[in-house]
Amino acid sequence: MPGNKYNSSPLTPRTRLERLLRERELRKNRSFLQNEGEPDFFASESFLNASESWGPIDEEEFAGTRSSTDNGERLEGRCKQRLLVVANRLPVSAVRRGEDSWQLEISVGGLVSALLGVREFEARWIGWAGVNVPDEIGQKALTKALAEKRCIPVFLDEETVHQYYNGYCNNMLWPLFHYLGLPQEDRLATTRSFQSQFDAYKRANQMFAKVVNNIYEEGDVVWCHDYHLMFLPQCLKEYNNNMKVGWFLHTPFPSSEIHRTLPSRTELLRSVLAADLVGFHTYDYARHFVSACTRILGLEGTPEGVEDQGRLTRVAAFPIGIDSDRFVRALELPQVQDHINELKERFAGRKVMLGVDRLDMIKGIPQKILAFEKFLEENPSWRDKVVLIQIAVPTRTDVPEYQKLTSQVHEIVGRINGRYGTLTTVPIHHLDRSLDFHALCALYAITDVALVTSLRDGMNLVSYEFVACQGSKKGVLILSEFAGAAQSLGAGAILVNPWNITEVASSIGYALNMPADEREKRHLHNFMHVTTHTSQEWAATFVSELNDTIVEAQIRTRQVPPSLPIKGAVDSYLQSNNRLLILGFNATLTAPVDFLGRRGGQIREMEPKLHPDLKEPLKRLCDDPMTTVVVLSGSDRNVLDDNFGEYNMWLAAENGMFLRLTTGEWMTTMPENLNMDWVDSVKV
């Protein structure tokens, strides 16, 4: 593969596998060198340690990164490539303190750790700051303050945010991608507002694209994130078709049967396909996307991705990870050790089970608690020997459905504690809040069984965090088969169907009674995966793959025959005395139709028809005595007769099986002694 200004080594690997292995080794070496002396973005990680509130790290709610400082702008003789990370939210929360004064706080989320250790690229973040800034003075002041954090804001007004984020993103895309379907309540009102929400969605994506275009420099890599920005790749390519654009989805991508219910399905799929590389957490999600493109758009799916008229959009799985070293190091901190000792004393003599989730519809918290109740019913001897600690971080507290879920969970917990609790102990400790990072690490470390019962989850990094903190305890992970992590941690976890309460209850008993040697084997498998497939490795691999995809596309483009030189062809045509024109019929001389058979919003005719605008030009060509016109089609003979019977031309029906001059009779191109009577007998 030829080198470029970012990869100019003469020893460039020939295959994708060789390149991946070499890049991984280089990243390890760079990480060692940089840990020895190169300073980090934000100077240190102290901003994460003092007042950090750490709920469950959810790959679907991310914002935050760091990059290198101006020191070390050149690494191993190469100029660092700029990486423009475009997400709905910036990794910074802004609070206004005056007309031209802003206070910034670094946020923490699933993507933060993904780019903390990626030093090959000079990162810039583009996104919404989470506040409405209508005045120009405030916008300039916030832009200046964010520039110090390598962030560029996108200013969205309140109405756009309401329609785009609260409306289309959270009310339409998020439920659909998690198999909850389109909104059922107030359907008429939803239908009326759908178009305005989708218009706001496109408008917001165009505003993101405008900001990207303003700061884009040749050679930059643009990495778009999540379902909030599905329209962005197309907007960027319309600005500059040479941009290197990647798009990654942090949620599941549903099956094509689910996705096709979305009214804007076609437009969104084509917008995403404008990207050079499309990434998902798991192979299943990638397969669903390719299937949607083939079934809804009628495009060709290949092992590499989706092909549209010679252009290939590469589609692949890139499972995200966590910064496992950070969790392992945290366990050695004095404050974490103090928490561990307190928890061990508090729950002495009892096995600890743990659930850490956002209080969300898809997390399966009621199912988890009901399964624990069934376990206590069937195993009376365990009632005073086990405790379930459920951390439920509140989210979208102003939404009625979430308020109803909160009440439901509280009711179930209260019933179980009232039924099996004593004056001194209760079987379930339920917390409606997040924990700080140190307390959470300590809780992970003393847990015997972690319960992740998501009804649908993009990846679920809580399971990764639990494994990273289990070096000593070697606890058991019970993991929903509907979480993306099941494909990476499934061999070491106990996989369950969260809807099957009996199965989950049985798995709890199996986990609590699991022999030590089996626990150790399962933990070792998962620990190796979590510490090897880190978030930094995920981010570096995706961007490296994007660069390779661009180079491979350039190679394919050079192999494609060039476009017809129209002027030269016309000149040759006019100078010649004997011309032969072979024209296709379907999709060449007919009106274009989409894959599902609609033309101009209407159902198409049963048989294709010659496009009205082509009738006169075609007649003039056929009347030219120096030009012979042949129409070749896979259609039946009578279809060609109906469309071209009045023209002076040759017709080739059924892909050349039958041939005739319009002034003559049909003849077969097969040998004369071949009996073709059976053909008419099997025609439908």
Span 106-145, pLDDT tens digits: 766 556 556 655 667 888 999 998 899 999 999 999 999 9
Tell whether the model's pLDDT for residue 593 goes beyond 60.
no
Lowest-confidence range among 150-159, 418-427, 538-547, 584-593?
A: 584-593
Tell whether the model's pLDDT for residue 477 goes beyond 70.
yes
How confident is the model over 4-20, as pLDDT tens digits?
333 333 344 545 556 65
Going 423 to 429 to 434 to 439, the CA torsion angle's sign is positive
> Mean pLDDT over residues 393-404, rounded?
86
Instruction: Give me the percent of the chain exceeding a pLDDT of 70.
Output: 80
The number of CA neighbours under 13 Å toward the Cβ of 268 is: 22
Tell whether the model's pLDDT for residue 55 goes beyond 60.
no
Instruction: Give me the percent of the chain exceeding a pLDDT of 90.
Output: 60
Which residue type does 30 have?
A: R
> Mean pLDDT over residues 332-352, rounded?
95
pLDDT-based confidence at residue 183 (cuts at 50, 70, 90): confident
pLDDT at site 674: 64
Q: What is the pTM of this model?
A: 0.79
pLDDT at site 395: 84
| Residues 6+ away with beta carbon under 8 Å from 437 | 48, 49, 52, 54, 330
Lowest-confidence range among 90-104, 227-241, 497-511?
A: 90-104
> Mean pLDDT over residues 549-561, rounded?
78
pLDDT-based confidence at residue 562 (cuts at 50, 70, 90): confident
Tell whether the model's pLDDT for residue 155 goes beyond 80.
yes
| Residues 6+ away with beta carbon under 8 Å from 618 | 589, 610, 629, 647
Lowest-confidence range among 69-78, 303-312, 368-377, 439-448?
A: 69-78
pLDDT at site 93: 84
Q: What does the alpha-carbon distance between residue 41 and residue 45 come to, in Å, rounded to a whole number? A: 9
Contact between residue 257 and residue 233 where contact means Cβ atoms under 8 Å apart: no
Q: Which two tokens stand for residue 269?
A: 């799929």
Beta-carbon neighbour count of residue 323 at 10 Å? 21
Range picked from 61-70, 317-326, 489-498 for highest mean pLDDT: 489-498
How confident is the model over 268-287, as pLDDT tens digits?
999 999 999 999 999 999 99
pLDDT at site 237: 96
Contact between residue 165 and residue 222 where contact means Cβ atoms under 8 Å apart: no
Contact between residue 84 and residue 126 where contact means Cβ atoms under 8 Å apart: yes
Contact between residue 493 and residue 479 where contact means Cβ atoms under 8 Å apart: yes
> Mean pLDDT over residues 541-550, rounded?
92
pLDDT at site 668: 83
Tell whether the model's pLDDT for residue 378 goes beyond 80.
yes
> Mean pLDDT over residues 170-193, rounded?
75
Which residue type does 156 have?
A: L
Range picked from 360-374, 532-546, 640-654 for highest mean pLDDT: 360-374
Between residues 69 and 581, the one the model is more confident about: 581
Name the residue among 19, 548, 15, 63 with its Cα closest to residue 277.
548
Q: What does the alpha-carbon distance between residue 272 and residue 293 come to, in Å, rounded to a whole number? A: 10
Tell whether the model's pLDDT for residue 681 goes beyond 70.
no
Range picked from 37-51, 84-98, 396-410, 508-522 for highest mean pLDDT: 508-522
pLDDT at site 424: 85
Q: What is the mean pLDDT of the chain?
A: 84
Q: What does the alpha-carbon distance between residue 284 and residue 509 come to, in Å, rounded to a whole number? A: 30
Lowest-confidence range among 37-46, 444-453, 652-661?
A: 37-46
pLDDT at site 3: 36
pLDDT at site 67: 35
> Mean pLDDT over residues 320-344, rounded?
94
Q: What does the alpha-carbon distance between residue 255 and residue 336 come to, in Å, rounded to a whole number? A: 43
pLDDT at site 185: 55
Q: What does the alpha-carbon distance between residue 90 and residue 93 come to, in Å, rounded to a whole number? A: 7
Tell whether the model's pLDDT for residue 343 goes beyond 90.
yes
Tell whether the model's pLDDT for residue 414 goes beyond 90.
yes
pLDDT at site 602: 40
Range picked from 5-14, 146-155, 186-195, 594-603 for highest mean pLDDT: 146-155
Between residues 311 and 68, the one the model is more confident about: 311
pLDDT at site 32: 46
Beta-carbon neighbour count of residue 445 at 10 Å? 24
Collapsing DSSP to helix, strand or coil, 417 comes out as: helix
Which residue type does 226 have?
A: D
pLDDT at site 30: 53
Tell whether the model's pLDDT for residue 317 goes beyond 90.
yes
> Mean pLDDT over residues 532-555, rounded?
89
